[in-house]
Amino acid sequence: MAVPVLGTILITAAAGCGGAPPPTRAQAEAIAAVRSAEAIGAQEQPQAAYHLELAREQVRSAERLIQDGRMQEAGGALMRAKADADLASALTNEADTRNQAAEVREQVETLEQEHRR
């Protein structure tokens, strides 16, 4: 008799939650993407910093939506947060690559000038 009662309680509890479950995986991925962008210095590059801040805002928004029980909207906000954080990382990497290329160009020009002497 205890088993059917327990099953009824679990079904009732699950039905009472309503809607989709919290998007914990999407939340973890978005937060990890933000931390990754921060770790490579996205806040130092103007374009990347803009997208990093957008990602942070979307994570905060998603947390409020989760508290309000609006799981699908929270999932969308977290997808946007991850996309913005990934873009911030890509922009940072691009800027770093451009800076390294400029340094190599300068070194090549210096070597060419020295070779001409």
Q: What are phi and psi of 92, to 5 degrees?
A: -65, -45
> Where is pLDDT greater, at 11 or 71?
71
DSSP letter string over 69-108?
T-HHHHHHHHHHHHHHHHHHHHHHHHHHHHHHHHHHHHHH
Which class would CATH give 22-116? Answer: mainly alpha
Provide the pLDDT for residue 57. 98
**Domain map of the chain by residue range?**
22-116
Mean pLDDT of 42-50: 97
Return d(Cα 4, Cα 42) in angstroms, integer. Answer: 55
pTM, entire model:
0.76
As given in the structure block, the two tokens for residue 55 are 């990602």
* pLDDT category of residue 4 using cuts at 50, 70 and 90: very low
- Residue 115: predicted pLDDT: 86
With beta carbons less than 8 A apart as the criterion, state whether 58 and 6 touch.
no
- pLDDT tens digits along 14-34: 444 557 899 999 999 999 999
pLDDT tens digits for 66-101?
999 999 999 999 999 999 999 999 999 999 999 899
Instruction: Please choose, from the candidates 83, 4, 25, 79, the residue with its C-alpha nearest in 3D space to the C-alpha of residue 51.
Output: 83
Distance from C-alpha of 22 to C-alpha of 87, rounded to nearest angstrom: 25
pLDDT of residue 18: 58
